[in-house]
Chain A
């Protein structure tokens, strides 16, 4: 036979470990047994063996888990341990790795506690959203506990000490034994029916798990959660948690603490009232101060301080406007007078006086020209005349007559006798000579050939 595959010890141990750890039925289990061979290593880890009639099992509880153990395990002790099976690879040894441990005897109760807690938690009964606020100033505190015993005394003394004005209404119940849970449930219902208490304290002094058991019962937890009146749970001493604690609106570690949580201290209240009175005074003073400041600011406004100034501003404005008005008016005036001057000049330029002047000048000029022309003409004519006169003089018949010529006129000296034909013999004629006339009578007529020219 030939091995097909060789596996190392380490690998097989690891494989076994994985198999075991993967098996849910070997994980998160509870074991009951007696401790033997207990050792506590210097590292803090605990090593021991758990045994019962039928067998034994090596166990280890690491320091991180055993630090919070509520008891000291030792040889011969019967315990209930929670944990899972795994393998210590190096030794090939399977062991129980414990994460929690309880002394046995109460072990079954502890299991029941865990189971109920998980159930109610899953149901949401412990939800923070369901928790109601505890009233700040209760008039009456309802107390549900044993009428005998330290718890009720602690609660009443604490309430009296803190606030003498708060009433206490005690509903006596038995807090251990089989009757405990039903009586607590009934008391909570009765307190709610009565409706007098503003807050309920439900609890008892410390004790063993068995003694506290009533507060781990489902009925009590539901009654606590179902109460209309807010509930402060006060069970045991400090570290003991009960199901009722989880269900309550507020958990107090002790009955005394519950009373303190339920009732405000009168002295603190007085302090608070005094503080608020002080705040009232301070706030009002501040308000007054602020108002006063506002008033004085308003009073110091320039309008009140120098009323004239605001008038001056207006006066100045008026002046400015006047200046502008003047300026505009003057400018307008200047423009208009310019225009007037221009028009006047134009008008003047076109004035008839000027035209008259010009006309006169022209007239004068013309007159002078005329005079000159006339004079010229006169001179010219005078010259002509004198030349003509000279000429005429030269042509004058008298001159001719002076040379011996004479003129013959008819007898009446009306017409000149130019031809022999105009006279008849016998006619009287007048002959004009240079120095007088002769009256003559024609005696003969003798024609003469006259050659023209």
Chain B
């Protein structure tokens, strides 16, 4: 039995390794497989569990607000970057 911490670590690692797009695609394919209705019950349950896990993963990723808005600047050592805030009112 894995401890709760280990599970958390695993979950975090997975969150990092799989992209939102990949997770959504897996989720969509699981849903369509289940919808087709020709999977054995055991597989259906497994798919369901995997689907629920992926859907919460997608939800988590969606809520992760760690957005970066950066501007690339050319420096002496090539491209650098710094945070960017667009001017409030312009045109």
Contact = CB atoms under 8 A, between A and B. Distances in A.
A194 B59 CA distance: 28
Interface in A163-190: 163-172, 190
Interface of B: 19-21, 24, 27-28, 30-31, 34-35, 37, 39, 41, 44-45, 47-48, 51-52, 55, 58-59, 61-73, 79, 81, 84, 86-87, 90-91
Given A135-B21, A168-B70, A286-B37, 4 more contacts: A136-B24, A163-B62, A280-B34, A287-B34
Contacts of B30: 280
A163, A276, A291 pick with most chain B CB within 10 angstroms: A276
5 tightest Cβ-Cβ pairs between the two chains A and B:
A283-B34, A137-B21, A153-B86, A287-B44, A150-B91
A149 B89 CA distance: 8
Given A165-B64, A279-B35, A147 B84 contact: yes
A164 B67 contact: yes
A277 interface: yes
A136 B70 contact: no
B69 A168 contact: yes
A273 B84 CA distance: 31
Contacts, number: 121
A136 B21 contact: yes
A43 interface: no
Contact of A273 (B55, B70, B73, B79): B55
A288 B65 CA distance: 38
21 contacts: A136-B21, A137-B19, A139-B20, A152-B86, A160-B67, A165-B66, A165-B67, A167-B70, A168-B68, A169-B68, A170-B70, A194-B72, A273-B24, A273-B58, A280-B34, A280-B47, A280-B51, A283-B44, A284-B45, A287-B41, A288-B41
